Amino acid sequence: MATGSFSLPAREPFELASVALSHGWVQLKPFDYDPEAHALTYVASVNGAVTQVTITELVDRPGVSVTGDRRLSPSARSALGSQVTWMLGLDQDLAHFYELARGEPKLAHVIDGAHGRILRSGSFFEDTVKTILTTNTSWAGTKRMVAALVDRHGSQHPADADRHAFPTPAQLAAVDPAELREAGLGYRAPYISELARSIVAGETDLEGVCESTAGTDEIRKRLLAIKGIGGYAAAVLLMLLERYDFVPIDSWARTMVSREWHDGEPVGDAEIKAAFERWGTWQGLAYWFWAWSQA
DNA sequence: GGTAGACCTGGACGC
DNA sequence: GCGTCCAGGTCTACC
């Protein structure tokens, strides 16, 4: 067996903290981030074995060091390497976005700060479930629901009963929707259950969406066909797929666009779309990293 | 295609 | 401490 540590290269510019703190995912289990140590941790299921992974930034070149808390076989190391590369978008090319951002004072900060990558979970299934759990609730509610899923239904770490991986589709498909409802998911419980069962039954290929070369509109249609995914959630998931053609319009977007361009007057979807339309296929990213005048 | 009401939970608020 | 109201996206029924 090989040791549990290895490194992965990243395309420049890269800063681990910029990716880790790109949105709230880092606050959701099984992620954790230590700002003092600049270390991102994630409880992963690698080839069926639960491993806590610690990711730190390399000091001598762009990239990260990945350390598992157990010895990794060559195949496990390869699988984990692919997973971490995907989660951090290490090979993502944002050169065109930076070119555009250079000419916009509200986006110029993304270049120096190496912003642009958005943290992803270990699987697109996990990202989809988490996104559904962000809808129609507070952030505290999202954290509580995700924690309930992970703690109750995720595979347990062999050395620590308090640590669990995010549950697989098979694990969630086996759970009675009523139990998910009681766990605090409320009306979202049947959505999660139906999605998990559909994947297990082979009716939905969520991970295949990541590799798809289909157009963004087609991918969006597939996402909108999932119960619980509406316009906002689809836009968030498309962003995680590096497709930035849509702005995720939620209450926060309404507030910020209203303050930025409409003197606090209420705005509709049309005004929000109009505000970022000029950024074309980068408009979602422009919105995400916009330096708003008022927080 | 557009709109209204329901869904569920937790936090804020008034009494 | 209790009850009420509200915010947060999406779904469904209806027009």
Task: Compute mean pLDDT per 10 residues along chain A, 295 residues long, and list them.
Answer: 81 97 96 96 94 96 95 92 98 97 96 96 98 96 96 96 96 96 95 97 93 94 96 97 97 94 90 95 97 79
Q: Is A151 in contact with A164 (CB distance < 8 Å)?
A: yes
- CB of A186 nearer than 7 A to strand B: yes
Q: What pLDDT is recorded for position A48?
A: 86
* SS3 category, A78: helix
Q: What pLDDT is recorded for position A31?
A: 98
Nucleotide nearest to A140 (CA to C1'): B10
Alpha carbons A127 and A9: distance in angstroms, whole number:
24
Q: How far is the CA of A58 from the C1' of B3 (A)?
A: 54
List all residues 6 or more positions away from A259 whose beta carbon is below 8 Å from its beta carbon. A292, A293, A294
- CB of A136 nearer than 7 A to strand B: yes
Cα angle vertex A119, ends A117, A124, to 5°? 115
- CB of A144 nearer than 7 A to strand B: yes
Supply the pTM of this predicted model: 0.96
Q: How far is the CA of A184 from the C1' of C4 (A)?
A: 22
CB atoms within 10 A of CB A292: 13
Q: How far is the CA of A93 from the C1' of B11 (A)?
A: 42
Q: How far is the CA of A137 from the C1' of C7 (A)?
A: 8
- CB of A135 nearer than 7 A to strand B: no
- CB of A143 nearer than 7 A to strand B: no
Q: How far is the CA of A152 from the C1' of B9 (A)?
A: 19
DSSP A130-195: HHHTTTTS-HHHHHHHHHHHHHHHSPEETTEEEEEPPPPHHHHHTS-HHHHIIIIIGGGHHHHHHH
